[in-house]
Structure 1
Amino acid sequence: MVGEGRKLKAVIAGGSIAGISTAHALILAGWDNQATDSEKKVTMTLARDESLNFRAAHWADLHGVLYDALPKQGSVIIKAKVLQTGEIIEIVGDLLVAADGCLSSIRQKYLPEFKLRYSGYCAWRGVLDFSEIENSETIIGIKKAYPDLGKCLYFDLASGTHSVLYELLNKKLNWLWYVNQPEPEVKGTSVTTKVTGDMIQKMHQEAEKVWIPELAKVMKETKEPFLNFIYDSDPLEKIFYDNVVFVGDAAHPTTPHCPRSTNMVILDASVLGKCIEKWGAEKLESALEEYQFIRLPVTSKQVLEARRLGRVKQELVLPDRDPFDPKSAREEDCQELLQRNTPFFNI
């Protein structure tokens, strides 16, 4: 039995947006926390959604806002190693939240046979800060080629590949370019990697062959682009075990094509917090069961839709349709590309 009036503690593994969002939700529930046509270089509109209610933010900006808003300051017993000293310490809490990403080590403990599914492609990614080059030829050119920048997300399809381009706050352009390739060797606990100068130079050369000059130039002028290995997994059957619960990418690794990853993370945290607040300290298992009941059907369908959409845009094989060709696609085929087709789009 939990002592009357005792404030419960959650141990949150992971300091990304999933972990910080969960910390906010549990604090509100009264808990403490520790923790394009490549040949002709012409573009055409395949599908357009004027009423898409979507907001884009730079990951670092959103993370900073959430982190700075946390208060400064089990039973689950966690042993952790302090990297600076090598000391092993114990952290005690009533709930362990696994918010440690798609390569979650906590999930691996409960699901040792679990494997991520490689999508068949990686993504070059970069953010161009144009705050000091707003009147440059590059920025004038990209805004002429993509006139709705700042008001929409552009998804550009070429043969066997696609890119994403949109403007962030504070005069930044975010871009991604998905490239079909064999599965790379993933080292450590990250699905992103820094790249060599030779790799970047080769990427620039390929971009000039595939994309219109304005987009290729943005890619070329972006400092420190990096590679993101794209993985997801088949939906899990359970997302909690005893008083250990998965949130974010630990619960539902997904490809980014819907795009719902951050949305799913924040909703996981919100629902978990509301369920714990509703059931109280004495019925933590009931709270986790309700969290799973609410979130698992939603995130499972969204993961599978993101997987399907990525394969359509990359012209990869699907069992129920021919590969998508942007140059010969019918109107009904193009409607499949709309983000609002995502299951549970409005939540």
Structure 2
Amino acid sequence: MRREGKTGKAIIVGGSIAGVSCAHALSGVGWEVVVLEKSFGHTTGSPTGAGLGLDPLSCDIITSWLGGSAPLQSRTLPLSVDQNQATDTEKKTHRILTRDEEFNFRAAHWADLHELLLNSLPPNILMWGHHFLSFSIADDKASVTVKAKVLETGEIVEIVGDLLIAADGCLSSIRRTFLPNHTLRYAGYCAWRGVLDYSENVDLETTIKGIRRVYPDMGKCLYFDLGPRTHCVLYELLNKRINWIWYINQPEPQTKGNSVTMKVSKEMINKMQEDANQFWVPELVKLMKATKEPFLNVIYDSDPIEKIFFDNVVLVGDAVHPTTPHCLRSTNMSLLDAQVLGKCLEKWGRGDLQSALSEYQSIRLPMVSKQVLHARKVGRIKQGLDVPDREIFDPNKASSEECCEIQQKNVPFFSYIPELLRS
């Protein structure tokens, strides 16, 4: 069945940041878009998203979608310093390994960024409570039909478009249709994560004063604390919140359903807090203990794939490049995916979809493949795991040369802007 009309129509499966970013990028170049999302509305407390860092290019992209920088700046804090430091587990002191004072990122809470992007879209674009079921491509490749279940009523609906965009995450069912043998790879460690909100709790004043004393650049610095075979991340978010992540080497745990977040018990939390005393300075341990409802992510990535579009189906975000989080790439890659895809569709038009998708693939695939593999390597270095052609990393003995690879500025394509976006 051929879809009538001159305007291209894209069906986006997944209403997370990758999905709503594609909605911005495509609607901005004249495409009709619809986003299918199985949840019933935006949540401010997403269990899988806490803090994130936006690079300068991502900030520029978001600014172009929102028509100015003020909305983004009002929801984020500047991160002008990237610092790696070794923690002496016995003396509970720090030694700076690397420090970059020209970092120029911005820190955001996942839910804040998602809400900002979502609320700036026309209200009729996102179809809440629609669970994606299946899709079919027309024999002449001119259209794609998506079936979804309306969860509130049980009704099955069909939506026809020119392009299907898979923004359905690292466990993408759409990717599995084309690449059934492509699986996630367990990194060898999990991450305890939490956000301490001290905005209305005067009892936390001593805790925050202690953190600011030990981490004097809190509020502008992305801190990486490296201990023996482990590391921790710490930075401040807007509205008096502090984001922390602690990576722990362990056998792969069992998760339930399509989730990379584990359900944790009070006993697990208590043990984590007690174990923290062995590694981290007392001020950081106190912050962890004061955090309500910390959660545990199982860390995965996947080997790079060789193709990211199939006829008129294209993959974006974590559906293409599940990655470990050490280089702050996941959200930044998703934002750039969306913008490059939109510009390619604008350049080639609805009449030459294959050329548009081919160019999207040629621009994005080499970049994301190298960034995923680099983030994997950085994670293994910081966790004291085996890395080919180098000794196990010991932060308390590491030379400046050995520390070079773990700096954010040495991520492949760190400051690169695709030619398509330079005009």
> Is the aligned partner of 1:343 residue 2:412?
yes
Query: How far apart are the structure 1 equivalents of 2:3 and 2:300?
Result: 43
Query: 1:56 Cα shift?
Result: 1.2
Task: Name the structure 1 match of 2:282.
Answer: 213
| TM-superposition CA deviations, 1:215-266 (whole Å, max 9, x none) | 0111101111101111001111000000000001001110011111111000
Match of 1:24 in 2: 24
Query: Using the alignment, how far apart are the partners of 1:166 and 1:48 within structure 2?
Result: 15
Deviates more, 1:160-169 or 1:66-75: 66-75
Q: Residues of 2 paired with 1:58 and 1:286: CA distance? A: 36
1:41 equivalent in structure 2: 92
* Deviation of 1:45 (Å): 0.7
Query: In structure 2, what is the equivalent of residue 64 of structure 1?
Result: 115
Is 2:148 aligned against 1:80? Answer: yes
Distance 1:53 1:88, change over 3 A: same
Q: CA deviation at 1:24?
A: 0.4
Match of 2:342 among 244, 268, 273: 273
Alpha-carbon distance in 2 for matches of 1:4, 1:41? 67
Report whether the alignment pairs 1:142 with 2:211.
yes
1:80 and 1:111 map into 2 onto residues whose CA distance is 21
Given that 2:2 and 2:143 are in contact with CA atoms closer than 8 Å, whether structure 1 keeps it comes out as no
Deviates more, 1:104-113 or 1:4-13: 4-13
User: How much does 1:3 deviate?
Assistant: 7.6
CA–CA separation in structure 2 for the residues paired with 1:3 and 1:222: 52
Q: Could you report, residue by residue, the CA deviation over 1:260-284 in whole angstroms, capped at 9, with x for unpaired residues?
A: 1111000000000000000001001
The alignment yields a C-alpha RMSD, in angstroms, of 1.5
* Structure 1 spans left out of the alignment, 5+ residues: none
CA contact (8 A) 1:98 1:250 kept: yes
Aligned to 1:231: 300
Aligned partners of 1:261 and 1:293: how far apart in 2? 19
CA drift of 1:330 comes to 1.0
Instruction: Choose 298-307 or 32-41, whichever is displaced more.
Output: 32-41
Residues 3 and 160 in structure 2, CA contact (< 8 A), matched pair in contact too: no
Select 1:117's aligned residue among 185, 196, 200. Answer: 185
Residue type matched to 1:161 in 2? T
User: Displacement of 1:5 after TM fit?
Assistant: 5.3
Aligned length: 347
C-alpha contact (below 8 Å) 2:3/2:162 kept by paired residues:
no
Verify the 8 A CA contact 2:89 2:279 in the aligned structure 1.
yes
Deviates more, 1:69-78 or 1:290-299: 69-78
User: Which is further off, 262-271 or 129-138?
Assistant: 129-138
2:226 equivalent to 1:157: yes
Aligned-partner Cα distance in 2 for 1:112–1:260: 25
Query: CA offsets, 1:74-127, max 9 Å, x none?
Result: 921111122333332212211110001111011001101111110000000000
Moved more, 224-233 or 191-200: 191-200
Q: 1:128 matched to which residue of 2?
A: 196
How far, CA to CA, are the matches of 1:280 and 1:4 in structure 2?
Answer: 15
Letter in 2 for 1:70: L
Post-superposition shift, 1:6? 2.7
Give how far 1:4 is off: 8.1
Q: Is the 8 A contact 2:225 2:233 kept in 1?
A: yes
Gaps of 5+ in 2: 36-86, 125-141, 417-423
Q: Which of 101, 106, 119 is the matching residue for 1:55?
A: 106
Q: Shift in Å at residue 52 of structure 1?
A: 1.1
Aligned counterparts of 2:360 and 2:281: Cα–Cα separation in 1: 46
Contact 1:133 1:139 in 2 (8 A): no
Query: Contact between 1:2 and 1:281, CA under 8 Å: does it hold in 2?
Result: no
For normalisation by structure 1, the TM-score amounts to 0.97
TM-score, normalised on structure 2?
0.80
Please say if 1:108 is aligned against 2:176. Answer: yes
Amino acid in the other structure paired with 2:9? K
Structure 1, 114-123 or 190-199: larger mean CA deviation: 190-199
What CA distance in whole angstroms lies between the structure 1 residues aligned with 2:33 and 2:92? Answer: 53
| Structure 2 counterpart of 1:173, from 208, 233, 242 | 242
